[in-house]
Amino acid sequence: MTATIARTASDADDAATAPAAPPASSASAAGAPPAARAPRARRRRSPGRIALDLVAIAFGLVWLFPVYWMVDAAFLTSEQLSSPTPTWIPVGGTVEHFARILGDVRFWSALRMSTLIALVVVAGSLAFGVVAAFALSRFRFRGRTSMIVAVLVIQMIPAEALFISQYRMLDGWGLLNSVVGLSLLYLAANVPFTIWVLKGFVDGIPVELEEAAMLDGCSRVGAFRRVTLPLLGSGLVASSIFSFLAAWNEYTLALVTLSADDSRTLPLWLQGFRGQMQETDWGGIMAGSTLMALPVVILFLIVQKRMATGLTAGAVK
């Protein structure tokens, strides 16, 4: 009897001193696999957000429709183009317009002219823009603020207000109907914007990085070339795309300074399809516009990631 009572008391003491078992519900929840857990409720879009999405889609369709119509009309026959009923899908179309353009010597001459001018403008804008942006961002000198204001004011001057003076200047220098002459005018228009864009990128790069490089033995030029310039990649891409498009698509200034038949850019060459005494060649216009836009599309596809970063970043992450 006494032994039984002692054994019962010992068991009670052991049960009292033993750690409490975790609740069954928490243990099962902790040990349950991820697939067995309750799915997270999906976030429901508000009516305002849905309306904004629909508006964005509508704007996108409005923007894409002219591009679609240009490509569609480039493959249509002359009868389909002149028909009052639109042909939305070029079934039974033709590549006659493209073949005629690719066999035209004037197209290749205009393509060469536009390519040379665009490359010169891009290279010159980046060369002058990078140096000027670095100087305005890193150095404090007399007239610095006035130069920044001048860069902004120059961009506000309408290009048409300078046509007469620019024409007389190129005429006096003997640079009419030349790649150099038109490139100089495009550079004067694009360099201020390039400086302003690249200055924002240089401002976002810590100056301590250049100082650390100079402490390691680099010169000022070496620190700029090895540290600052690689970090400006996104800004250089964004600025070069803008300069390329400005030179590739410009029409009015080229019309003023280029009058010879063998020195025309693509926009001027495309004007030749517009009829004066005869019917306008809409098939040639659409095919030429498609070929003219093709290099720009390819360029955007190549640099689209850096382009998006360059337009949104403006600083070192």
Q: Please report the pLDDT score of residue 27 as a whole number.
A: 42
Residues 190 and 240 placed together within one structural domain of the fold: yes
Question: Is residue 140 domain-resident?
Answer: yes
Is residue 5 one of the residues assigned to a domain? no
In the numeric block, which tokens belong to residue 100? 């005629």
In sequence order, what DSSP letters do the residues of 18-87 get, joined into one string?
SPPPPPHHHHHHHHS-GGGSPPPPPPPPPHHHHHHHHHHHHHHHHHHHHHHHHHHHHTS-HHHHHSSS--
Q: Are 202 and 137 in contact (CB under 8 A)?
A: yes
Mark whether 196 and 305 lie in a shared domain.
yes
**Pair (77, 170) in one structural domain:** no
Q: Which tens digits make up the pLDDT trace of 121-144?
A: 999 999 999 999 999 888 888 888
Q: Which of 64-73, 153-162, 195-204, 270-279 is predicted least confidently?
A: 270-279
Under the banding of pLDDT at 50, 70 and 90, the label for residue 177 is very high
When pLDDT is cut at 50, 70 and 90, the band that residue 12 belongs to is very low
For residue 34, being part of any structural domain is answered with no
In which band, very low, low, confident or very high, does the pLDDT at 37 lie, cut at 50, 70 and 90? Answer: low
173 or 27, which is more confident: 173
The verdict on residue 29 lying in a domain is no
3-class DSSP string for 232-285: CHHHHHHHHHHHHHHHHHCCHHHHHHCCCCCCCCHHHHHHCCCCCCCCCCHHHH
Taking only the tens place, the pLDDT of each residue in 258-316 is 988 888 999 999 988 775 556 788 889 999 999 999 999 998 888 877 665 655 554 44
Last residue of a domain, one of 38, 64, 94: 94
| 144, 71: one domain | no
Q: Residues 70, 197: one domain? A: no
On whether both 208 and 166 belong to a single domain, the answer is yes
Rg (CA), the chain: 34
Q: Are 198 and 237 in contact (CB under 8 A)?
A: no
Q: Convert the pLDDT of each residue in 145-172 to its tens digit.
A: 888 888 888 888 888 888 899 999 999 9
- The better pLDDT of the pair 196, 272 is held by 196
**Most confident by average pLDDT, 52-61, 141-150, 200-209:** 52-61
Same domain, 80 and 184: no
Q: Examine the domain organization and report whether 179 and 271 are in the same domain.
A: yes
Q: What CATH number did the domain enclosing 186 receive?
A: 1.10.3720.10
Same domain? For 56 and 155 the reply is: no
pTM for the complete prediction?
0.76
| Whether 90 and 214 share a structural domain | no
Q: Does the pLDDT of residue 30 top 90, yes or no?
A: no
Number of domains in the chain: 2
**What is the C-alpha to C-alpha distance for residues 285 and 108, in angstroms, rounded to an integer?**
16
Alpha carbon distance, N-terminus to C-terminus of the chain:
81
| Confidence tier at 20 by pLDDT (50, 70, 90) | very low
Domain-ending residue, one of 64, 94, 124: 94
Confidence of residue 39 (pLDDT cuts 50, 70, 90): low
Residue 100 located in a structural domain = no
Distances (CA, A) of 153 to 67, 163, 201, 243, 264: 34, 18, 21, 19, 31
Q: Does residue 234 lie within any of the structural domains?
A: yes
- Residues 89 and 111 reside in one and the same domain: no
Q: With a cut of 70, say whether residue 15 has pLDDT above it.
A: no
What range defines the domain where residue 305 resides?
105-312
Residues 46-78: b if buried by 16+ CB within 10 A, e if exposed: eeeeeeeeeeeeeeeeeeeeeeeebebbbbbbe
Please report whether residue 191 resides in a domain.
yes
**121 and 161 part of one domain:** yes
Q: What is the DSSP string of 143-155?
A: THHHHHHHHHHHH
